[in-house]
Copies of this chain bind each other. A is one copy, B any other.
């Protein structure tokens, strides 16, 4: 099938770009001396994960237990579920863990540690868990400056029910960076906070087997992983408009795009209507800290080769997308029915809205990939 025969809106993956993105981060992490345990939540499909682990030890990171189950069934043997687990889902984790070599969990609260210990005892297993650390993003994780955080790590390290796997963080505040140098600074914070905390735990008698970090901006731009043992970037496989804005990549590296069709013209407003709305592009606001008028997507020609920099997806509702021109639109070049390829602000959230991805190498369709959904 040729790309212009696909019913829209549709999710398109460019395999050449995906491989290039994957190889770049793979080599980068190797040079920086860490293991790569890529996150698969951006695409949630087996085929893309296989590109990510090529040449590495095979471990992956997931964002839901549904992903853990799906990738375990597909043959992935070493999985980290990188969200603090809900205490009433521990038994599911035991089941998934039994089917593979290792399922590593996360905790950052005493109650979860206690529930995990109780579940492990009841099931006659040991549960492997990281201690989640807050390196400045302030979303989840223990404060590495507090004595209670050290005490919790020590309890984990001494536990007979929980295997203390190490410390793990995500510098999500790298997404707030306005340029490469700001992101490099966050990357250095992420690394140094974790390295220092690991040293502190070692002195306290709880040396962390793993020191795990990772966000696509910090791994794309950071210069050192000294004191870190593994990196967990994920978005880089697809990249997106946000990553391009903060400097992780160029916009042309975006391997995931939404194919849309021009539905109508409104010359009186210098606008075009397309059939990709919030249920195709997601309502992620994008890099508004860099460009308050960024809208909801960068517009490319249907073949994905030309960036129409003077067009942007100005607003979206459920199934409508409104493209506005920053200069007068040449409507004769974009008749009703024209296909456009949109790079969404946030590929993770847009990709999750589709049940399948149409995969292309150049103009040639090479298959369909099916992501896992739900929790």
**Residues of A in contact with B (beta carbons under 8 Å apart):** 7-9, 41, 63-64, 83-89, 108-109, 111-112, 115, 138-140, 143, 172, 261, 263-266, 268-269, 273, 275, 278-279, 282-285, 315, 317-320, 322, 335-337, 348-349, 352-355, 373-375
Contact = CB atoms under 8 A, between A and B. Distances in A.
A139 B317 contact: yes
A107 B374 CA distance: 36
* A-side interface mostly: loop
Contacts of A172: 317
B349 A86 contact: no
A239 B317 CA distance: 16
A265 B134 CA distance: 13
B264 A112 contact: yes
A108 B267 CA distance: 13
A89 to B, nearest CB: 7
What is the count of identical protomers in the complex? 2
Contacts of A41: 318-319
B284 A83 contact: no
A108 B264 contact: yes
Contact of A349 (B115, B138, B278): B278
A50 B269 CA distance: 39
Most buried by B among A89, A111, A336, A355: A336
A349 B275 contact: no
B355 A373 contact: yes
Given A111-B337, A318-B41, A355-B374, A83 B263 contact: yes
Given A83-B263, A268-B143, A320-B140, A109 B336 contact: yes
A52 B204 CA distance: 64
A275 B138 CA distance: 16
B115 A320 contact: no
12 contacts: A7-B375, A8-B375, A63-B319, A108-B264, A109-B264, A111-B335, A139-B320, A139-B322, A275-B375, A283-B284, A352-B353, A355-B373
Contact of A111 (B7, B87, B278, B336): B336
A84 B355 contact: no
Given A139-B317, A140-B320, A355-B374, 6 more contacts: A9-B375, A139-B315, A139-B322, A282-B283, A318-B352, A352-B353
